[in-house]
Amino acid sequence: MADLNGKNVLIISTEFGTEQAEIETPRDFLLAAGASVTVATPDGGTIQTVISDRDPADQVSADTTIADVADSDFDALVVPGGTVNADTLRQDKDAVALARRFATAGKPIAAICHAPWLLVEAGLTIGKTLTSFPSLRSDLNNAGATWVDREVVADDTNGFTLITSRNPDDLDAFDSTLAETLEKAGAAAGSGR
């Protein structure tokens, strides 16, 4: 199990349409590894998750609004999928600006399933190799990325890391790659690099 004590991770979502496993599994994994996790939504409201984009599932409480978080308080950003969530989130100017600030600061962004739509909107895909739910392939290629069909991809080019996965079946690889990336960043910071 990863040791993420002292790491602060932000998860952003809208209040409806987030795939249940894609928000709960990373959150629970990070908490079990010792990280602090903050969940933010546009309005700070409770998230109604779904299964397979249509069946209502658990509700997840938000801690704050996206506009009220400072990227300097966090070590990584996690963006869960769900078609409605991802499509709505990419239209939120605060979410787009936040993703850009994480990238500019060199902090990892992990996006699963349809969530790479936010990366496209933020202009973060150019020159990157990514994966996603297969229906985003053309969107990502048209936005300057190279799309591949793998369970997880961690691309650390251009000064920041994007971690992407295709769907809930890839969550084990997604979570462990995020943890490895955070541990590696901690080791590099500890060695004075």
Instruction: For residue 113, indicate whether it is catalytic.
Output: yes
What count of Cα atoms within 13 Å lies in the side-chain half-sphere of residue 36? Answer: 8
Instruction: For residue 117, indicate whether it is catalytic.
Output: no
Q: Under a CB-based contact definition with an 8 Å cutoff, are residues 157 and 127 in contact?
A: yes
Select which of 113, 120, 136, 152 is catalytic.
113
Long-range CB contact pairs, 184-190, < 8 A, 24+: 185/75, 185/108, 186/6, 186/7
Select which of 90, 107, 114, 128 is catalytic.
114
Nearest by Cα to 125 from 149, 97, 147: 147
Which of the residues are catalytic? 113-114
